[in-house]
Amino acid sequence: MVQQFLKRRAEILEKTDPDRIYVENIRSFFRIPYTVARFFCEMAVKEKFFKKKVGVFCSNEDCRRLIKSYDSRSEIKDEIICDICEDLEKEKFVFVKEDIEIVEFYQLVK
């Protein structure tokens, strides 16, 4: 799997954002089951090809942007502000950790 990855590394980079690689990207790229893709991503972290990140995403339906990314879940602050939604004077722009969407993704180690 790692060999396969290295062989197709350039191709992966071409098709995905190297700073935002989701398990889903790897799954569809190699046409493998999600659990296998996830296992592979974790392997890639161990082999230092990938760095694991956790991103918090704005909960507003019309925004959904990545507000901030962290190295681990424990670094996420209890209160997260979406600057864009604040600027747009939306009803809600402060989110609590418990309610916000947290998604794990990977970055390619350069």
Note the residues at the interface with Zn ion (CB under 5 A).
Answer: 58, 60, 63, 82, 84-85
Q: State how far the Cα of 19 lies from the Cα of 13, in Å rounded to an integer.
A: 10
Q: State how far the Cα of 40 lies from the Cα of 28, in Å rounded to an integer.
A: 13
Least CB distance from residue 94 to Zn ion, whole Å?
10
Least CB distance from residue 68 to Zn ion, whole Å?
12
Nearer to Zn ion, 15 or 77 (CB): 77
Q: Partners of 109 in the beta sheet?
A: none
Nearer to Zn ion, 45 or 84 (CB): 84
